[in-house]
Amino acid sequence: MAPRARVILHHLANVWLKLRRELAQPQPLLRTLTRGENFVALLPTYHSPIYRDYAPPMSVPSTILSLAARQAELAALLESWCNVNSGSANADGLNRMRTVLRDEFVRSFPAATIAEPATDAPGFNPPGTHALSVRLRPTAPVQILLSGHYDTVYQRNDPFQICRWLDATTLNGPGAADMKGGLVTLLTALQAFEQTPHAANVGWEVLLTPDEETGSHGSAPLFRDAAQRHQLALIFEPARPNGDLVHSRKGTGNLTATCHGRAGHAAKVPGDGCNAVLALAEFLLGLGRLPQAMPGVLINVANFHGGGAATNVIPDFAEAQIDLRITKTSDGELLMAHIDALAAPINARDGYRLELQGGFNRPPKECLPQEETVFAAWQQAARAVGVAEFSWVHTGGGSDGNLLSNAGLPNLDGLGPIGDFLHSNREMCRTETIPQRAAIAALFLHNVASGAFALPAKG
């Protein structure tokens, strides 16, 4: 078919789809008339709201269209990566995994510059861990960061070490979705993008880190630096089980509450001892009630230990660890003020000391206006490569997108393959979605490089 005829047909198909959707709305005709529009008049008017989702046919480079043929090879690569234990505390495994990744990226992009900055964070990361940075064309007019983490939550001695196939394309394995599947997707997308005709217009950096699952304490400065050098970040955390991306994330923090009381005989001198278990319990009950008055705040008292050696001893020590989550950045200070106010009356009592340590290590990832624009372009790329419609959603889990948003870098998150049951031995990845998601990313990059899509200003 002649290209012009194809464009007209595509256009008419879009009009028909929009018309059908419009007619499914309550009182479609009334809505249309009150806007002073009619469908015939709309036909050539691309700016009308009725064409909001209309995308002119996008040409997709053949290197991107042919990614589907690589599915089996990409699934095998993912399986081999998941079989390397790279739990956040396993320095040997992390270094092995980084070497595997570095070799793969060097092979794929021989002209790229490799750096392996240290990610030391005493008390959080094991000694000797490093991030992997792969950078190509640092002077190109557009700079895009692609990020991911290569640590998993499964430690060296975890019983969940090796993959198994649940069916022909579903891989159950440690890190299959979170996020070695995302790393395979990222690599594949760049391999395809590099073969597109305008790639020279976009410079990129891949930043892969070893400590996301424990709060990115060693990598946070690297993300803050990277945020300055780029206009946009693409984060290949897994897509939701229904294919949706991530719109926003809660901010995360940790708190350790340590209560010191005074030991004493349980009965001999009533009132002499100060029971640390009871005082801490009183504090924790108050803490548990705080979310009722603060929508979007989550508090989980994760563990509690301490107490005396015998039942006839008043305990002088108790400690709890608490997970804190907030949706709005402004809730952080308010929540900490409420927490301090709960501790104050206990500290005012003779014989008690309640110490609080910790705070927020990841601010919330709130959706930036530029991200709305980028998401629409991502959806258009998805339609052009035939991926089923998806939306984007808020999630309670944090990612390095939180750090990048806080540093002012717009980012799109959840771009990896579809997966489920993260952080459990049922974790799985639908490997047929790896080439699909890679195709979206590659086409998006191609659209930026060709000028078909202009990245919004950082703001």
- In the complex, the residues that contact Zn ion under the rule CB under 5 A are 178-179, 237
Q: Minimum CB separation from Zn ion for residue 233, in Å?
A: 15
| Residue (137 or 149) nearer to Zn ion, CB | 149
**Closer residue to Zn ion (CB): 179 or 280:** 179
Three-class HEC string of 362-383: ECCECCCHHHHHHHHHHHHHHH
Q: CA end-to-end span of the chain, whole Å?
A: 44
CB of 65 to Zn ion, least distance (A): 29
Q: What is the DSSP string of 200-236?
A: GGEEEEEEEES-GGGT-TTTHHHHHHHHHH-SEEEE-
198 vs 217 by CB, closer to Zn ion: 217
| Closest of 236, 239, 224, 217 to residue 409, by C-alpha | 224
Peptide bond into 97 cis (omega under 30): no
In this structure, are strands 245-249 and 392-395 parallel, antiparallel, or unpaired?
parallel
Least distance to Zn ion, CB of residue 177, Å: 8
Our CB check for Zn ion shows the closer of 88 and 380 to be 88
Nearer to Zn ion, 179 or 259 (CB): 179
List the one residue out of 129, 98, 101 whose CA is nearest residue 190.
Answer: 101
Kindly state the smallest distance separating residue 370's Cβ from Zn ion, in Å: 23
- Please name the helix (run of DSSP H) or strand (run of DSSP E) that holds residue 324, with its range, or none: strand 317-326
- Identity of the residue, 131 or 179, whose beta carbon is nearer to Zn ion in the bound complex: 179
Nearest distance in Å: CB 238, Zn ion: 7
Cα–Cα distances in angstroms (integers) from residue 185 to residues 49, 74, 78, 151, 209, in the given order: 34, 8, 9, 16, 16
Which residue sits closest to Zn ion, CB atoms considered? 178
Q: For Zn ion, which is the closer residue by CB, 273 or 414?
A: 414
The sign of the torsion formed by the CA atoms of 45, 50, 52, 58 equals negative
The structure tokens listed for 423 are: 């952080």
Least distance in Å: CB of 125 to Zn ion?
A: 16
Query: Please, what is the minimum distance in Å from the beta carbon of residue 448 to Zn ion?
Result: 25
